[in-house]
């Protein structure tokens, strides 16, 4: 299926209504663009990932302010660039804080409790095989999968444990589940 501007606009409108699948689509579709932009700027994959996660966290929190006359990708890149500049300023000033402006109402919109296709795929794996697949993820994705699925922590508990904003935890978990589902699918197709 070719993804048109109209389809992306439709997904943005659905995200504004709080539909989980629309958030998932936007995250999946624009992740590489934002991440690639940041990797060129900061030249560190962990920092680029953190900034990308924060970008989507902030964008999803403020999705209702997006003006549909403009390009969503450009809007994301502007948010991403501003986050990176702020982080650089803080680092240069020897102040390192993780912040987000997420309100509770908007944070609740980002992740619902209904199992996603990725969740179903993950739960169908036997434990030994699943652990082997999890080890293929980067350490910070392994950690969040472990906290959520093996220690059965709530989003709030994970947020407190990792000392990260709740919105960032939800976006990181969305990304970790997607990557894990890709690993599982790839291994089952071989």
**Per-residue pLDDT at 151:** 86
**Per-residue pLDDT at 96:** 40
pLDDT confidence bin for 89, thresholds 50/70/90 = confident
* Residue-range domains of the chain with CATH: 5-92 (1.10.1740.10), 111-189 (1.10.10.10)
pLDDT over 60 (residue 87): yes
pLDDT confidence bin for 97, thresholds 50/70/90 = very low
Sign of the C-alpha dihedral computed for residues 19, 22, 148 and 108 taken in this order: negative
Report whether 183 contacts 136 (CB < 8 A): yes
Interval 16-57: pLDDT, tens: 999 989 999 999 999 999 999 999 999 988 899 999 999 999
Report whether 141 contacts 175 (CB < 8 A): yes
Interval 118-149: pLDDT, tens: 666 666 666 778 888 889 999 999 999 999 88
Smallest Cα–Cα separation from 52: which of 83, 26, 74? 83
pLDDT confidence bin for 159, thresholds 50/70/90 = very high
């Amino acid at each position: 299926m070719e993804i048109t501007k109209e389809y992306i606009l439709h997904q943005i409108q659905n995200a504004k209504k709080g539909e989980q699948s629309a958030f998932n689509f936007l995250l999946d579709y624009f992740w590489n663009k934002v991440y690639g932009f940041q990797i060129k700027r900061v030249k560190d994959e962990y920092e680029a990932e953190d900034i990308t996660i924060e970008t989507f966290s902030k964008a999803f929190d403020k999705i209702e302010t997006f003006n549909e006359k403009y390009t969503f990708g450009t809007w994301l890149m502007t948010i991403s660039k501003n986050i990176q500049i702020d982080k650089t300023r803080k680092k240069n000033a020897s102040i390192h804080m993780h912040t987000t402006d997420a309100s509770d109402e908007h944070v609740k919109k980002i992740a619902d409790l209904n199992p996603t296709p990725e969740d179903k795929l993950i739960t169908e794996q036997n434990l030994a095989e699943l652990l082997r697949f999890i080890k293929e993820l980067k350490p910070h994705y392994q950690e969040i999968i472990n906290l959520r699925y093996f220690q059965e922590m709530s989003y709030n508990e994970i947020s407190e444990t990792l000392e990260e904003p709740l919105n960032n935890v939800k976006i990181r978990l969305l990304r970790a589940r997607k990557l894990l589902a890709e690993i599982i699918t790839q291994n089952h197709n071989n």
